[in-house]
Amino acid sequence: MEIKKNKLVITEKEGVICYGYFQDGVPTELYCEPKEQQSILGNIYAARVERVAEGIHGAFLEIGDNQKCYYSLSAEQPVKLSPGHEDKLYGGDIILVQITKDAVKTKLPVGTGNISLDGKYFVFTLTDKRTGISKKIRNTVERERLETLLKKYTRDEYGIIVRTNAAGVSEETLTKELELLQLRYEELMRKAKIAAGKTLLYREPPHYITLGKELPAKALDEILTDHAEVFTELKEYYKQTSESDTTKISFYEDTYSLYNLYRFAHYYEEAYGKYIWLKSGASLVIEHTEAMTVIDVNTGSVLKKKKQEDTLFYQINREAAKEIARQLRLRNISGIIMIDFINMKDTAQKEKLLSLLDSECKKDRVHCNVIDMTALNLVEMTRSKVRKPLHEQIRSCMKNNRS
């Protein structure tokens, strides 16, 4: 029997949904959230413009009772639901907005006017009205097949993007999702036309339900949960797109909980701490500040031999680069990241190290940009912000349990 290696595991502990993407039993991504406290990421609102802040080229929008979000004016013109002022945004305007970033620390959630309705195989876009196929689908015959299918659903009102997951999928399954997304679009616009400002039009299902859709199809063998309610939600959600997807969903019935079996407590504690020990005996120290995250590479207990020092430092830095890329994804660290590798004199080794870090970061689903090494031998990089970093998620869950 084939062993399922890549699993999305979802469980609950004391009112907190604990979940993660595990490869060969080791977590690649970890998350947690209070069961009763849902993220607003992906939600679509009829938002009211509270005020336009020309100085920062942005606007502040009201999306619900005592809820606000930031909107960048550099984005494309949004879909306006109130009459007049088509070329510019003014206070009091009602526009369609989708939340693209959760609130982080003191920063408001971020909204965009480029609404997207995401499926497993397609994305409908309301502002960018072009059609396109993922560049990762390179087979010419397959691209032609998908283009032919798209023509039946192309409209002036929206664009359609074909995701990489669509390659090789039956026309019946693809057609079912296209029809579902088209119905969702029509229902959204029907509600939007009669909605007042500060109205929720579409609520995105919880992230632990949608995460399986975000992961590449070939990288997910099983979705496993021991929570009956979550199991039902998963079945209903995946049944909408493809019956075959529901076969990946399994209900775990053993008395020994998934929380313990997959050592969630251990991995959360490890990912919350600032020290990570490497196999060589060296270590990483991860510190979060208001402006950035700083990572320091230390030689630790590694014995230094003077004549081999450069080679030794290069080997430790390579090991550290691989682990840093893994930790960034595991902990969902975003924003500006500064890495203090062990100093090396050899320019070629420095270039190879940057190249290695860049290639390891490309395995991440979230966009990373390794910029350069400064004169002080500090590596600058960034990682896009989407969800809260894991340490903030854990802190939020701890507060929830204490209250």
Give the tens place of pLDDT for each residue, 103-117: 877 789 999 998 999
Residue 325 in this model has a pLDDT that exceeds 70? yes
Q: Does 6-38+205-264 carry CATH code 3.30.420?
A: yes
Spatial CB neighbours of 338, under 8 Å, sequence gap ≥ 6: 292, 293, 294, 295, 378, 379, 380
pLDDT at 375: 85
pLDDT at 302: 66
pLDDT-based confidence at residue 1 (cuts at 50, 70, 90): very low
Distance CA 264, CA 266 (A): 5
pLDDT-based confidence at residue 309 (cuts at 50, 70, 90): low
pLDDT-based confidence at residue 101 (cuts at 50, 70, 90): confident
What is the sign of the dihedral through the CA atoms of 318, 341, 394 and 260?
A: positive
Per the model's pLDDT, the better-predicted residue between 351 and 217 turns out to be 351
Give the tens place of pLDDT for each residue, 36-54: 767 888 999 999 999 999 8
User: pTM for the complete prediction?
Assistant: 0.83
Per the model's pLDDT, the better-predicted residue between 309 and 74 turns out to be 74
Please give the structure tokens belonging to residue 106.
Answer: 């003191």
Give the tens place of pLDDT for each residue, 180-191: 999 999 999 999
pLDDT at 2: 46
pLDDT at 241: 64
Residue 243 in this model has a pLDDT that exceeds 60? no
CA-angle at 170, arms to 204 and 203, nearest 5°: 5
Comparing 12-26, 70-84, 181-195, 247-261, the range with the smallest average pLDDT is 70-84
Query: Cβ(242)–Cβ(177) under 8 Å?
Result: yes
pLDDT at 50: 93
Residue 304 in this model has a pLDDT that exceeds 60? no
pLDDT at 190: 94
Q: How many helices (H) does the chain have, and how many strands (E)?
A: 9, 21
pLDDT-based confidence at residue 307 (cuts at 50, 70, 90): very low
Give the tens place of pLDDT for each residue, 257-268: 999 999 999 999
pLDDT at 356: 97
Ordered DSSP codes for 80-95: B-SSS-TTS--TT-EE
Please, what's the b/e burial string for 82-91 (b: 16 or more CB within 10 A of its CB; e: otherwise)? eeeeeeebee
pLDDT at 231: 95
Distance CA 57, CA 76 (A): 13
pLDDT at 78: 85
Give the tens place of pLDDT for each residue, 145-178: 999 999 889 888 899 999 988 998 889 889 988 9
Q: What's the mean pLDDT in 369-379?
A: 92
User: Which residue's entry shows tokens 């004391």?
Assistant: 14
pLDDT at 165: 85
Comparing 254-258, 298-302, 303-307, 313-317, the range with the smallest average pLDDT is 303-307
Domains of the chain by residue range: 6-38+205-264, 42-203, 274-383
Query: Cβ(385)–Cβ(329) under 8 Å?
Result: no
